[in-house]
Amino acid sequence: MSGEREGNWTPTLGGHGFKGSVDRACTGELLTQVFPSMLLSLCGACLTGMVLKHMQTWRVFVRIEELFILVPILLNLKDNIATPMASTLGDLVTLTLLGLLSTLFSKFMGTIISSIVFLALIAAVFFNYLLARRNAFVKELLGIGWSPLFLAMVISSVSGLILKHNINRFDGFALLTPVVTTLSGNAGTIFVSRISTSLHAATKDDHRALAARLFGLTTPIILGFLVVISATDQVAITPTFALAFVGAVSLALLLGYCITLLLWRWDYDPDVYALPLLASALDFSGQLMVWAAFAVAQRASMFADLRDVGGLQPR
């Protein structure tokens, strides 16, 4: 990859005064390109959250709670090969397929049919591998990018454990989690893509200004979503949820910059290696932030109830 570089330089977050710096024209471009896709992503994430909230009561998910562990893994492995907007709609399709197929195959657990399906999937892996090897356009991809995918799968497995533990514990966890991970993930993905493009083109862009604009575009969408959720009484929203969502976006931009720059310094292509790691890390951190928001809100509610019944007297 080092042969593709046109210069050995490192971008700075605070660079300014360069010809390729982010300016008002870039702001208008972000408004026309990023903002609509963010809104569509929000709609898709909301639908995904509602589907997950509904599916958590299905018999197969109640019977086999380990299926919740598969949710982040499947969504992230799909989010690593799709653009943000298509990825969000893919979340809905993937989650629906997981629920329907799990319900179907749970009826054949412990039978010869389940073994046949498993062997068929293994055969499909080798068949597609052979097809890819014969395709000159994608053959070289078979040997790269596996390490971040496996690492991302491990991180996503931990995220799945968090989801499994909290989805039935907090009412609304299934609704909020896809939204916070989608919005933060989209902001981070766009940021990584822009930085990677500037690195390959050896242009010096003001990445701090770009991060600020992405943050400014994402924050109103987050606040609007929380207002709607609170107004419709779907989840009892407190200020801690706003802090969790905004914190997730901030962390996405920070991690996106750091991961992309580190991979570039280590001679790895950020377009191949950064997105799987970023998606899984944001899924993990986003779920932790949502869990923390629910835990704080629950503790505050318990404290208020104790005061109302006279269990605690204000000093």
pLDDT per residue as tens digits for the range 173-229:
988 998 898 889 888 988 998 899 889 888 887 888 889 988 988 888 888 888 888
Which pair of structure tokens corresponds to residue 197?
A: 């493009």
Longest Cα–Cα distance in the chain = 76
Which pair of structure tokens corresponds to residue 28?
A: 């208008």
Query: Each residue of 31-58: pLDDT tens digit?
Result: 777 777 777 777 778 888 888 888 888 8
Name the band, by pLDDT with cuts 50, 70 and 90, for residue 305. Answer: low
Name the band, by pLDDT with cuts 50, 70 and 90, for residue 9. Answer: very low
Residue 60 confidence (pLDDT) above 60:
yes
Average of per-residue pLDDT across 139-151? 82
CA dihedral 83, 85, 87, 90 (to 10 degrees): -140
Average of per-residue pLDDT across 115-144? 89
pLDDT of residue 35: 74
Residues in CB range of 53: below 8 A, 6 or more apart? 172, 174, 175
pLDDT of residue 241: 92
**pLDDT above 90: percentage of residues in the chain:** 20
